[in-house]
Structure formats: structure tokens, C-alpha cells
């Protein structure tokens, strides 16, 4: 999967519900944060600079594997004939 400027991504920001069973607590209802990719690293194409949609805070640097974000919508258009 190629990431590019303008792609919409999401990642788990927090959880609003947890479940307890046999002495363990597991998160069960994620709260997602969304952002637009502003720049993709040339050295590691899974490393991106993201402008978070819900907040006016600073841009974030996220890595697809380490931060667990996923592509929601690609900015690339496909030509179908």
C-alpha cells in the first residue's frame, strides 16, 4: 500500500469502554482520531506527517506499524475504462 499526500488515515486515540474478565481488563471500544497526510518520508514510506482533523494542535509524525494507523481513503484516483 502506497501512502501519499492527501490520504485520510485513522488511528486509535483512546478507548471509552473496557471489559474485565478473569482478573484482566481489556479495551473494547476504541475512539479513533483522523488526519490528513501532509508529507510522506522518502527514507521510510510508512512514516508520515499528519494534520489531525479534530484538533488545532501541532502536526504529528506517525509510523504505520508503530502507531497502528490505517488508510481510510486514498487521495489517488483510479482510472476505470
* Extents of the domains making up the chain: 8-73
Q: Helices H, strands E: what count in the chain?
A: 0, 5
In angstroms and rounded to an integer, the radius of gyration of the C-alpha atoms of the chain is: 15
pLDDT at 58: 82
Phi/psi for 71 (5° steps) reads -75, 125
Tell me the CA distances in angstroms from 58 to 9, 20, 49, 64, one per residue in order: 16, 35, 10, 19
Q: How do the pLDDT tens digits run along the chain, 81 residues long?
A: 689 999 999 999 999 999 999 889 999 999 999 999 999 999 999 999 999 998 777 889 999 999 999 999 999 876 555
Amino acid at each position: 500500500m502506497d501512502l501519499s499526500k492527501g490520504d485520510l488515515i485513522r488511528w486509535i486515540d483512546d478507548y471509552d469502554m473496557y471489559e474485565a474478565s478473569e482478573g484482566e481488563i481489556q479495551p473494547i471500544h476504541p475512539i479513533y482520531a483522523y488526519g490528513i497526510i501532509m508529507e510522506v518520508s522518502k527514507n521510510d514510506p510508512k512514516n508520515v506527517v499528519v494534520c489531525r482533523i479534530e484538533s488545532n494542535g501541532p502536526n504529528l509524525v506517525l509510523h504505520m506499524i508503530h502507531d497502528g494507523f490505517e488508510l481510510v481513503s486514498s487521495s489517488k484516483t483510479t482510472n476505470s475504462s
